[in-house]
């Protein structure tokens, strides 16, 4: 059954949300037996294995002329993935995800600093509101800054740089190629990092690591197809599904407890991110027609 064009982006986003939520649960369990950095390596290894049949069938999918833009994305993506997996293993899941939602906010700041983009009043207010939401979640001085929470902050900043690198890929590369390059280019570097904390996984853990790789492949494909099918402002609201699933999973599977400030702060951050995406889309359309109203 073919979905109407308006439903394809949200549908792919929901696929990504379910896959990533399940992956986070599996990461938390696997990290009890092996270091999170080793989990990252197996995520890349098994994720690439899951995509291998597609790459064999479509031999021209990976264009070497697009290598460098993908290298730039993979460089920040590796740091983001290492930090994210460490945060998932060592911080409350909803807290880690709420902080990770701030990545587009950091990307907006990065665009101002490195790309000299102008940020007008309404986007500036949304940016400020989003960072207030992050302060609500982190509550510096009131809550301890653990290694897991610190890793989540590093993940958000690194993911922001990855977003900026993706701008060079959007509209030019096949979404399947974007997903495949990320696994290919991060495999060897993640293996070198994992070598410092290596321990051979037991067969049951290895099977779980294979599941993580498969879920990562499904999630990456779903995400890239979602953003290829619709504007970010049309699909980002559905990321609330991931927030809900991960929060419930943390409570049901790992006995985590969350206060209203953590959940409310995460909602504020995601809301500001959605508004920024909507404004960016509106400004892009206005540039092709009339001056921006901002």
| Chain segment 168-217, per-residue pLDDT in tens | 676 677 878 888 999 999 999 999 999 999 999 999 999 999 999 999 99
Tokens of 279: 């404004």
Q: What string of DSSP letters covers 237-289?
A: GGGHHHHHHHHHHHHHHH-----HHHHHHHHHHHHHHHHHHHHHHHHHHHHTS
Element (H, E) at 226: helix 203-229
- Counting Cβ atoms within 10 Å, is residue 9 exposed (0-12), middle (13-18) or buried (19+)? buried
- Alpha-carbon span 238 to 13, nearest angstrom: 7
266 has a pLDDT exceeding 70: yes
36 has a pLDDT exceeding 60: yes
Could you read off the pLDDT of 138-161 as tens digits, one per residue?
887 677 789 999 999 999 999 888
Residue 113 lies in a domain: yes
Question: CA gyration radius for the chain?
Answer: 19
Residue 294 lies in a domain: no
How many folded domains does the chain comprise?
A: 1
Tokens of 2: 């073919």
Residue 137 lies in a domain: yes
Q: What is the pTM of this model?
A: 0.87
Residue 292 lies in a domain: no
Residue 80 lies in a domain: yes
Q: What local confidence, expressed as pLDDT, does residue 289 receive?
A: 46
Which residues span the domain enclosing 247? 5-287
Residue 73 lies in a domain: yes
Residue 47 lies in a domain: yes
Residue 93 lies in a domain: yes
- Residue 127: partners with Cβ closer than 8 Å, 6 or more residues away: 105, 108, 109, 119, 272, 276
294 has a pLDDT exceeding 60: no
């Amino acid at each position: 059954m073919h979905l109407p064009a308006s439903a394809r982006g949200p549908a792919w986003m929901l696929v990504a949300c379910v896959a990533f939520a399940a992956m986070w649960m599996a990461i938390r369990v696997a990290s009890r037996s092996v270091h999170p950095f080793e989990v990252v390596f197996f995520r890349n290894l098994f994720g690439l294995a899951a995509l291998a049949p597609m790459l064999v069938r479509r031999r021209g999918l990976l264009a070497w002329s697009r290598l460098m833009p993908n290298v730039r994305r993979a460089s920040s993506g590796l740091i983001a993935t290492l930090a994210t997996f460490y945060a998932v293993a060592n911080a409350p899941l909803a807290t880690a995800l709420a902080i990770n939602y701030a990545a587009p906010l950091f990307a907006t700041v990065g665009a101002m600093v490195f790309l000299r983009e102008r940020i007008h009043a309404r986007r500036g207010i949304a940016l400020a509101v989003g960072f207030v939401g992050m302060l609500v979640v982190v509550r510096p001085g009131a809550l301890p800054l653990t290694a897991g929470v610190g890793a989540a902050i590093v993940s958000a900043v690194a993911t922001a740089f990855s977003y900026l690198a993706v701008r060079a890929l959007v509209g030019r590369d096949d979404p399947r190629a974007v997903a495949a390059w990320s696994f290919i280019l991060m495999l060897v570097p993640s293996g070198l990092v994992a070598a410092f904390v290596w321990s051979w996984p037991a067969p049951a853990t290895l099977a779980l690591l294979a599941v993580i790789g498969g879920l990562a492949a499904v999630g990456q494909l779903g995400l890239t197809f979602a953003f290829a099918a619709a504007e970010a402002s049309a699909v980002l609201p559905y990321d609330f599904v991931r927030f809900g699933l991960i929060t419930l999973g943390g409570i049901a599977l790992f006995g985590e407890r969350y206060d209203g400030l953590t959940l409310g702060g995460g909602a504020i951050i995601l809301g500001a991110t959605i508004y920024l995406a909507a404004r960016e889309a509106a400004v892009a359309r206005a540039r092709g027609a009339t001056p921006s109203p901002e």
